[in-house]
Amino acid sequence: MEDSNLPVGVAIIGGGPAGLSAGLQLVRANRRITVLDSNRPRHAATLRSHGFLTRDGVPPLEVRRLAREEFEGYPKARVAQAIASEVTPLSHEEAVAVGFPDGIGFRVRGTGVRGSADVEVISRRVLIAAGLTEDLPDLPMIRAYYGTALHSCIECDGFEKSDTPLVLIGETSDLFARALLISRISSDLVVLTNGADTITPTQEAQLASIGIRVERRKLDDIVGDQNGMTGVRLADGEVIPSVGGFVRPRWHAPVEFLGDNPVERDDWGLVVVNKRGETSVRGIYAVGDIVPPGPQQIAIAAGDGARVAAKLNMDMIRGALGVGLVDD
Ligand SMILES: Cc1cc2nc3c(=O)[nH]c(=O)nc-3n(C[C@H](O)[C@H](O)[C@H](O)COP(=O)(O)OP(=O)(O)OC[C@H]3O[C@@H](n4cnc5c(N)ncnc54)[C@H](O)[C@@H]3O)c2cc1C
């Protein structure tokens, strides 16, 4: 067992598919890697995950368990059950003194969760793979149906809803594109904007031409019986019958641990990275749902994790030799 106080190559914040996939590639490149994970993935709301080749229909927590087991099978891998609370850059001299040849390094502090100890990790690079947190539209019963009748990922849960009466609930400007995607699954769809003016009259006409109605009135709540969701009640009392559908949450990139050294974000608040996966702060990378275009799928998060891990590894090899950064 490795000494957990040794400096590491990369501290990975987040042990989801993106973080663990990157971690697996990096330990296989003979790097010492610590993953800090608070173990609160967004997809915990759902019972089955779909579309990840060889794991279609497997509970998402099982996918995580297998991923962690594979990563932790390597001697230089460590997972700390902790929520990263602080990432601070080391000075050039401090970084060189701990053995980081290119003078880039970070101190990552984490608060232990579920009875685990607090951690402090000194790392050459940081990879943010913290996923997103989400706010659902403000309807009292929406959480009760989220993950069973209502979902956010159309590619992940759409097929199971084929040809049923569906709703799409959201208040953002990408509702139109989402409605088009759902039209592949069911033509019985009502788009509910909850009073938001986010679908243009042209888009509304285009949706109407394929049988999709846009309802702009304010919503009151989701309604259901012992068998599940039965509809959505509008503020004026009318109920739109539906057995389920899709919600567009508002997402938040949880990077408060960067404190006064924030990274550049886009208009949606997602962490901007270059094509190597590096943020606007040298040495801090990001991957997975937290980077544009935002929430996607397990396969994409895992694939991106592997891709960015390769770039990170080359960045450290080049940094050690002092031969500068090039992309390939
Ligand atoms: C309800 C739902 C159902 C889904 N169903 C599917 C599906 O069927 N198929 C599919 O392919 N995809 C599905 N997805 C999408 C898929 O889950 C995501 O695309 C994927 O998990 C993103 O991986 P990630 O590693 O970027 O983030 P996540 O999986 O969200 O992992 C991020 C991790 O970082 C941790 N973390 C956050 N902040 C900190 C911190 N400060 N310190 C330490 N750890 C931290 C979190 O606890 C979490 O464990 C679903 C998503 C949701 C919300």
Q: In which residue ranges of the chain is CATH 3.50.50.60 found?
A: 8-133+250-321, 137-247
Contact between 147 and 48 under an 8 Å Cβ cutoff? The reply is no
Q: Taking the chain (328 residues) in consecutive chunks of 10 residues, what is each chunk's mean pLDDT?
A: 81 98 98 96 83 93 95 97 97 97 96 95 98 94 94 93 95 95 94 94 96 96 94 97 95 93 91 97 97 95 98 94 72
Give pLDDT, residue 327: 60
Q: Pocket of ligand 1, candidates 297, 300, 304: which has the most ligand atoms within 8 Å of its Cβ, to mutate? A: 297
36 CB within 6 A, ligand 1: yes
Question: What separation in Å is there between the alpha carbon of 241 and the centre of ligand 1?
Answer: 31
CB 95 within 8 A of CB 104: yes
Testing ligand 1's pocket by substitution, the residue of 153, 255, 296 carrying the most ligand atoms inside 8 A of its CB is 153
Contact between 213 and 188 (Cβ < 8 Å)? no
pLDDT given for residue 42 in this prediction: 77
Count of CA atoms in the C-beta half-sphere (13 A) of 295: 19
H helix or E strand, kind and range, residue 13: strand 8-13
CA 108/CA 84 separation, integer angstroms:
7
Report how far residue 39's alpha carbon sits from residue 68's, in angstroms, rounded to the nearest whole number: 11
Q: How far is the CA of 98 from the centre of ligand 1 (A)?
A: 33
Name residue 119's amino acid.
V
Q: How far is CA 73 from CA 13, 66, 97, in A?
A: 19, 11, 30
Burial environment of residue 181 by CB neighbours within 10 A (0 to 12, 13 to 18, 19 or more): middle
* Residue of minimum CA distance from atom 51 in ligand 1: 43
pTM over 0.85: yes
- Atom in ligand 1 nearest the alpha carbon of residue 134: 53
DSSP label at 203? Answer: H
211: left (phi over 0), alpha (psi -120 to 50) or beta: left
Q: Is 50 in the pocket of ligand 1 (CB under 6 A)?
A: yes
Rounded to the nearest angstrom, the gap between the alpha carbon of residue 47 and the centroid of all alpha carbons in its chain is 17
Instruction: State the CATH class of domain 8-133+250-321.
Output: alpha beta
Task: Judge contact between 103 and 96, C-beta under 8 A.
Answer: yes
- How far does residue 41's CA lie from ligand 1's centre (Å)? 4
What residues have CB less than 8 Å from 212, skipping those under 6 apart? 179, 183, 187, 189, 190, 191
CATH superfamily of 137-247: FAD/NAD(P)-binding domain (3.50.50.60)
Q: What is the pLDDT of residue 3?
A: 65
- In Å, how far are 137, 251, 307 from 296, measured between CA atoms? 20, 12, 16
pLDDT of residue 126: 98
